[in-house]
Amino acid sequence: MNNMQLIANYVPGKSFFHRLHPSTKIIWVLGALLTVFFIKDPLIIFAFLVVVLVLIKASNTFATYRASLMLLLPIIFGLIFFQIVAPAFPKPWTPLARLGPFVLYNEGVYSALVLSLRIISVASFALLFIMTTYPGDLFTTMRMWGVPYEISFMVTTTIQLIPILQKEMNIILSAQRSRAMQASGFSALLPSIIPVFAGAIERVRQMSMTLESRAFGSSGKKTSIRQLKMGTLDYTLIILTIIALIGIFYLLWINQGFDRSQQMIFPAPAAIILFLGSIIGFFGILVLFARRIKN
């Protein structure tokens, strides 16, 4: 708890994805998100997940990604559990096995895989963009697109909010430790929340004064100290992305989203392993969180 890895935070770097123009990354990531959202084949979604994991690893942001994804895992495991016993499919359902009062259904396993992989993939693509895009560059890009600067400021500030609060928490816990006070466990975490929110309110007040002193609400053309230019690689990737999206959505349309729920039959042991794994994973993550807070 004392040295928490920042989550959903920009990680400086010089990787291929870092060097791309934010416009290119936005179009590429949005295209990937839309594709993953409409695909119903877990194998294809898993392939997209592998691609984004390779990009995350290549951009040297895996540590931040792992810390961020840990917060999603309890939701993922809970989703898998409930989908297996109560599938998001119209009845009748095909039972595979019974564990006590729970009946495990084939449609539930299929739905659990599709939804869990879809959520992880969407979160991974979004985190890749956040971790490799400097907030100021995102603000400048949104202004280039004609987005009102008030909305651009709100978006970039919101993205930075979680890392800022996490840094404040680390500072407060370090201050408690330097005063020989308890700086671990729930008993130290709960009293630290008040100064964190007090500091956040003070930060907002200072920010509002700064914005007012710089005529934030005035009319006229706005300028930025950071100037971004798109290169040949950016234009090439955007064109290729658009062409690929047209082809992908055509295939999705003629193949009904690659829905294989009627053809894919899972063995009963696989359903049991996935069901028990979701329970063990859910409580295992909670225990891990408790240990991190305690230490």
Check whether 211 has a pLDDT greater than 90.
Answer: no
Does some domain include residue 289?
yes
Look at residue 165 in the predicted model and tell me its pLDDT: 79
E strands in the chain: 95-99, 102-105
Counting DSSP H helices and E strands in the chain, the numbers are 11, 2
Look at residue 181 in the predicted model and tell me its pLDDT: 65
Phi and psi for 103 in degrees, rounded to 5?
-105, 125
| Domain housing 216 | 149-225
In the chain, the percentage of residues whose pLDDT exceeds 70 is 89
In the chain, the percentage of residues whose pLDDT exceeds 90 is 52
Among the residue ranges 17-26, 40-49, 168-177, 282-291, the one predicted with the least confidence is 168-177
Clarify whether residues 170 and 233 are in a common domain.
Answer: no
Does some domain include residue 139?
no
Does some domain include residue 141?
no
Phi and psi for 105 in degrees, rounded to 5?
-110, 150
pLDDT bin (cut points 50, 70, 90) of residue 88 is confident
Clarify whether residues 67 and 203 are in a common domain.
Answer: no
The total number of structural domains that make up the chain? 2
Does some domain include residue 143?
no
Report CA-CA distances (Å) from 75 to 72, 185, 285.
5, 23, 10
pLDDT digits (tens, 9 = 90+) for 61-79: 999 999 899 989 999 999 9
Taking all residues of the chain, what is their mean pLDDT, rounded to a whole number? 86
Query: What whole-number distance in Å separates Cα of residue 186 and Cα of residue 192?
Result: 10
Does some domain include residue 179?
yes
Query: What whole-number distance in Å separates Cα of residue 41 and Cα of residue 27?
Result: 23
Clarify whether residues 199 and 238 are in a common domain.
Answer: no
pLDDT digits (tens, 9 = 90+) for 23-53: 999 999 999 999 999 999 999 999 999 999 9
pTM (two decimals): 0.85
pLDDT bin (cut points 50, 70, 90) of residue 293 is low
Look at residue 227 in the predicted model and tell me its pLDDT: 75
Domain boundary among 195, 225, 255: 225
